[in-house]
Structure 1
């Protein structure tokens, strides 16, 4: 309606060749948002190697591969803003659900964000991350024991509410824009106060 062109592409963020091929097929991006992620709830002592590897490969390695693949052209162009979706789980340990692989992957996303920001700062690429609380999405509705979990999360949240997708999108929009031109290597926590207590 506004005259913009949009296209959708399917991409496996664990496949470096596919990422590189798509990056080379597109003009240099001004904005990259890395948002792929999964989680399962399995106690550490019962977690299989495959379950650990799958979460780490998608949530952390996938972000690295995507940043690397698309940043090459950004670096050549001398401009760009990359926004990674981390989690408050990269700063705290969630309870009651057991998810050590997810927490570790998101802590890795935060440190990867800072590392890339430092490497690319002088080449005019900004790299930041958003660390959301629990967000009300369709995925949440499919959780086992959902009502009990949500009630416990709300008890631990000072604002006594969960987040909405548009609230995270507005932070991404800010980080993508020139309004945040001095910000790089930052992790913006959007958690209704959850990590304060």
Structure 2
């Protein structure tokens, strides 16, 4: 290995454009900051404009990259098309898409309503597909793209702790949609992979994970004995977003402390 190889930053994203949905709070913001730390310009997509603008200003100030905050309902095809147009007008390219936006209905299966189930599929699965489809049209033109779908370890297994059948169904769909898109778009220079996070404390999960009973459960269920810490998802996202993962396609990587290993 020569000196140049030793000094190489394999996760360098300088000059690239990364689109992150669900970027108003939680894991979306964390991944966006990770991309910015490697030089990527950002498009932050969510429904709460005030939070998007706050995040954009903070990221620009900290990392010196350009950030476009864009309010968008990812379940509305026309609005997603408008987001793609805004991305191309501002940056002229899209290299990375992270489908992170999602929701979660927790209740016994017999109490889940039709509306809850449909809403889960609409946001987590269909919304992710709409974004992938529309942004892929630009990636195909460039013959390059990295699509990262944020699924869940609950898309790989069931659970007896926090019953949420719609979430399992939607995220399981995301896992296999990832494989299908990877198979279809690989020849177009686009890789499609998913990350299946375990228990990370976010605004969506905080109430459940902070409870004494769930903390006790997690210590026994997770081989490393704890929840994921802030930043522990970032390096996986950076790897899948970078050229370092050029031969990784159609994979679902669980970042779960070993939960799905047992």
- When the two structures are superposed, what TM-score results if normalisation uses the length of structure 2? 0.72
SS of 2:196's partner is strand
Contact 2:201 2:209 in 1 (8 A): no
The number of residues matched between the two structures is 197
Q: Name the residue aligned to 1:98.
A: 163
Q: Name the residue aligned to 1:66.
A: 131
Q: Name the residue aligned to 1:16.
A: 77
Q: For 1:84-163, what aligned pairs fall within 5 Å after superposition?
A: 84-143=149-208, 146-163=211-228
Any idea what the Cα deviations from partners look like across 1:37-70, whole Å, max 9, x if unmatched?
1112111111111010111111111100110111
Any idea what the Cα deviations from partners look like across 1:77-117, whole Å, max 9, x if unmatched?
11110001011101111222111110011110000001000
Any idea what the Cα deviations from partners look like across 1:114-173, whole Å, max 9, x if unmatched?
100010000100100001111022433223882212221221111101112311121111
Relative contact order (C-alpha < 8 Å, sep 6+): which is higher? 1
Task: Tell me the CA shift for residue 5 of structure 1.
Answer: 1.2
Q: Name the residue aligned to 2:251.
A: 186
Q: Name the residue aligned to 1:79.
A: 144
Task: Tell me the CA shift for residue 6 of structure 1.
Answer: 1.0
Could you tell which deviates more after superposition, 42-51 or 137-146?
Answer: 137-146
Could you tell which deviates more after superposition, 113-122 or 19-28?
Answer: 19-28
Cα pair distance change 1:71/1:137, threshold 3 Å:
same
Which consecutive unaligned segments of at least 5 residues does structure 2 have? 1-60
Provide the C-alpha distance between the structure 2 equivalents of 1:37 and 1:92, rounded to a whole number of angstroms: 18
Provide the C-alpha distance between the structure 1 equivalents of 2:196 and 2:153, rounded to a whole number of angstroms: 5
Any idea what the Cα deviations from partners look like across 1:167-187, whole Å, max 9, x if unmatched?
112111110001111101011
Cα pair distance change 1:180/1:43, threshold 3 Å:
same
Which consecutive unaligned segments of at least 5 residues does structure 1 have? none
